[in-house]
Amino acid sequence: MKIKVLIALTLGWILFFTSCTQEPATPKPQGYFRIGLPSFEYRSLDGDYPYGFDYNQSALWETNPKKKLWGDIHYPSLKSRIQLTYKPVRNNLDTLLMESQKLAFKHTVKASGMSEQPFADLKNQVYGMLYKINGNAASPIQFYITDSTDHFLRGAVYFFSTPNADSIQPAVNFMVEDVFHLIETTHWNE
């Protein structure tokens, strides 16, 4: 009887020490898919618009069917778009500026911060403001450009995904550069 108990204990200890030789499973941190960013190659906007600019070759220009001077620059690979609205200035520049600022500040409810970057191109009469909204905002980039006498163009960048700043930050950084290029190349057609 003692021998059977001794054999059973010995086998138990042997199984105990040899059965758990692998490392225990550890939980992996949540990760995000790698975002493939387009290259910085541009083409000019074609069409009968009171404005013109260069936009990314990987993007598509889509005219708004309801408002012929409005349009979207659609980035299929990033699942994003820049929505552009154009309004003529007719002694209403103050109103247009206030509306634009109000729309930008509307997104700060979910934001962790916001920065404003003014823009002025005296030669081409292009003046404006770029708003970068940090955090989980629905529209992390907004801007307006104007010549202050005849033209007013407003833009907002939207991503068609949950606004998670950590996961879309590389795409946001790309879009900031693309929007800034659009602003720098804007000219007014008379």
pLDDT band at 26 (very low <50, low <70, confident <90, very high): confident
| Total of domains in the chain | 1
CA angle in degrees (0–180, nearest 5) for 175-88-41? 25
**The predicted structure's pLDDT at residue 143:** 97
Residue 3 maps to a domain? no
Going by the DSSP 8-state scheme, the letter that residue 24 receives in this structure is P
Is 154 strand, coil or helix? strand
Is 189 strand, coil or helix? coil
Residue 139 maps to a domain? yes
| Neighbouring residues of 142: CB distance < 8 A, sequence distance ≥ 6 | 100, 103, 104, 107, 130, 131, 133, 154, 155, 156, 157
Residue 153 maps to a domain? yes
pLDDT in tens, 13-24: 676 666 666 666
pLDDT in tens, 131-145: 998 888 888 999 999
Rounded mean pLDDT of the chain?
87
Helices (H), ranges, the chain = 2-19, 93-106, 165-184
* pTM of the complete model: 0.79
Of 1-5, 39-43, 64-68, 118-122, least confident by mean pLDDT is 1-5
Residue 1 maps to a domain? no
pLDDT over 90, % of the chain: 58
Residue 11 maps to a domain? no
Residue 167 maps to a domain? yes
pLDDT in tens, 142-158: 999 999 999 999 999 99
| Residue scoring higher pLDDT (41 or 24) | 41
Whether the Cβ atoms of residue 55 and residue 153 lie closer than 8 Å to each other: no
Is it the case that residue 34 has pLDDT exceeding 70? no
Residue 10 maps to a domain? no
Of 44-58, 64-78, 97-111, least confident by mean pLDDT is 97-111
Residue 24 maps to a domain? no
User: How large is the C-alpha radius of gyration of the chain?
Assistant: 28
pLDDT in tens, 60-102: 999 988 998 999 999 999 999 999 999 999 999 999 999 999 9
Q: Which domain holds residue 183?
A: 42-188
Retrieve residue 96's tokens: 């247009």
Indicate which CATH number applies to the domain containing 131: 3.40.1000
| Neighbouring residues of 136: CB distance < 8 A, sequence distance ≥ 6 | 110, 111, 163, 164, 165
Is 147 strand, coil or helix? coil
